Amino acid sequence: MENSIVKNSGRTITGLIFVVIAALVATLLVSPADAAPSKGKPDKGTSVAPVVVGHRGASGYRPEHTLASYELAAKLGADFIEPDLVSTKDGVLVARHENEIGGTTDVADHPEFADRKTTKVIDGKEITGWFTEDFTLAELKTLRAKERLPKERQQNTIYDGQFEVPTFDEVLELREQLSKELGRKIGVYPETKHPTYFQSIGLSLEPGVVAALKDHQLNKAKAPVIVQSFELTNLQQLRTELGLKTPSAFLTSASGAPYDLESTGDERTYADLVSPEGLAEISEFVTGIGPVKDQVIPREADGALGEPTSLVADAHEAGLVVHPYTFRAENTFLPVDYRNGSNPADYGKILEEMKAYLETGIDGLFTDNPDIGVLAVEQYMASK
Ligand code: G3P
Ligand code: CA
């Protein structure tokens, strides 16, 4: 009996060593470098863990698009950090969700910039505020970020006034530093914001994106990078004219049309472009799609989560990976049957919502709460 225990213990220890080595190998195999889709070779979501994209960093916990938000996202386990990119007056790419910065910085509290407040038409919509393209980088650096959603995320307001607006270059430096510190490749998922508009004012975003990736040795097919946009033309130009070698993704909305198409009389809508024919067409120059999550599982008329569409299967058929956006923990962002109580700011059943989406075969997800995304992926993978 004793011998048997010793023998079995030996087997157990050998087994444990094997399991640990296998787990390490598996971790390396699903690192973002490999998880990033290769053109024409999609991850169909069957053997590789779906990736977690820290949407605007860990914006559920820190003011969005700050180095603190990106750093926390990586430390909470995100595979990718996600900077949205706009341009300054002097042509520097900075991380903001839109070029109007009144909602996410303290610019309104700077009397020296009061005369910069203006009204512009961006992508056909009239917007009043302060715009990045009217500030040099040095001027923007005097501003500080603030929480976009103070009602839903009051706890994040303690960081108001703490963090600068980062440049894309600073985000890529942070990515490199965090990859070394955490011992895994942190991916970056940059989005060109309002590309047609920035081209129209002589501040095209795309050359700077490629140049920055090159500066950081990231313009490679296997780099842990996915460049994304809600417009098609710039994604085509990046691939065919500007020498982008990384994977890329086309973002889609449940309604409307890409502004580059709309503004040139091309009648194709987002709905057309996520049809099987549309997906086959865009698969010529992108490696994935980033649909709004309602295009993967729409809500019923009463706001409850409905049944999955064929989008994931259609995209996989076209050789495209699918990374829907945006998963957020607060009730106000969740389907009514995934809420806890009636306070819009309280957390609902986000873990269950994410797992319902993972069951559709998606290859990753954008979330403001990367720690919960990691947990959902772990539980989903363990259930298979
Ligand atoms: O890029 C994916 C998702 O971030 C798109 O939505 O508006 O948050 O940039 P938005
Ligand atoms: Ca984005």
Task: Say how far apart CA 76 and CA 377 lie, in whole Å.
Answer: 13
Going from the Cα of 189 to the center of ligand 2, the distance in angstroms, rounded, reads 8
Instruction: For ligand 1, pick from 191, 289, 323 the residue to mutate: most ligand atoms within 8 Å of CB.
Output: 191
**Residue 348 in domain:** yes
Output the CA–CA distances (angstroms, integers) from residue 131 to 37, 69, 207, 370, in the order listed. Answer: 34, 22, 21, 29
- Does 86 score more than 60 pLDDT? yes
Task: Say how far apart CA 81 and CA 174 lie, in whole Å.
Answer: 10
Going from the Cα of 361 to the center of ligand 2, the distance in angstroms, rounded, reads 22
Q: In the chain, pLDDT over 70 holds for what percent of residues?
A: 88
Closest CA to 147 of 54, 58, 52: 58
Taken in order 208, 368, 231, 116, the sign of the CA dihedral is negative
Q: How confident is the model at residue 161 (pLDDT cuts 50, 70, 90)?
A: very high
Mean pLDDT throughout 61-69?
A: 98
User: Is the beta carbon of 191 within 6 A of some atom in ligand 1?
Assistant: yes
Which atom of ligand 1 sits closest to the CA of residue 193?
A: 9
- DSSP track, 188-250: E--EE-SHHHHHHTT--SHHHHHHHHHHTT--STTSSB-EEES-SHHHHHHHHTS---S-EEE
The helix-helix angle for 206-215 and 233-240 (nearest 10°) equals 40
Q: Whose CA is nearest to atom 1 of ligand 1?
A: 191
User: Is the beta carbon of 84 within 6 A of some atom in ligand 1?
Assistant: yes
CB–CB of 116/135 below 8 Å?
Answer: yes
Res 28: pLDDT:
37
Domain count, the chain: 1
Which one has a higher pLDDT value, 275 or 29?
Answer: 275
- Does 88 score more than 70 pLDDT? yes
Res 32: pLDDT:
40
Res 33: pLDDT:
36
Res 47: pLDDT:
65
- 10 Å CB burial of residue 148 (0-12, 13-18, 19+) is middle
State the residue range of the domain holding 222.
6-383
Mean pLDDT throughout 195-223?
A: 98
User: Is the beta carbon of 366 within 6 A of some atom in ligand 1?
Assistant: yes
Going from the Cα of 238 to the center of ligand 2, the distance in angstroms, rounded, reads 18
CATH of the domain at 170: 3.20.20.190
Q: Which of 43-52, 75-84, 115-124, 373-382 has the lowest mean pLDDT?
A: 43-52
Going from the Cα of 253 to the center of ligand 1, the distance in angstroms, rounded, reads 10
User: Is the beta carbon of 228 within 6 A of some atom in ligand 1?
Assistant: yes
Going from the Cα of 5 to the center of ligand 1, the distance in angstroms, rounded, reads 56
Res 7: pLDDT:
28
Instruction: Report the chain's mean pLDDT, rounded to a whole number.
Output: 90
Going from the Cα of 98 to the center of ligand 2, the distance in angstroms, rounded, reads 10
**Residue 1 in domain:** no
What tens digit of pLDDT does each residue of 278-308 get? 999 999 999 999 999 999 999 999 999 999 9
Ligand of minimum distance to the alpha carbon of 251: 1
Instruction: For ligand 1, pick from 52, 55, 295 the residue to mutate: most ligand atoms within 8 Å of CB.
Output: 55
Q: How confident is the model at residue 378 (pLDDT cuts 50, 70, 90)?
A: very high
Going from the Cα of 97 to the center of ligand 2, the distance in angstroms, rounded, reads 7
- Does 237 score more than 60 pLDDT? yes
Task: Say how far apart CA 296 and CA 311 lie, in whole Å.
Answer: 6
User: Is the beta carbon of 55 within 6 A of some atom in ligand 1?
Assistant: yes
- Does 218 score more than 70 pLDDT? yes
What tens digit of pLDDT does each residue of 109-132 get? 999 999 999 999 999 999 999 999
Task: Say how far apart CA 144 and CA 159 lie, in whole Å.
Answer: 10
Res 220: pLDDT:
98
Res 46: pLDDT:
47
What tens digit of pLDDT does each residue of 2-12 get? 233 222 333 33
What tens digit of pLDDT does each residue of 364-377 get? 999 999 999 999 99
Q: In the chain, pLDDT over 90 holds for what percent of residues?
A: 88
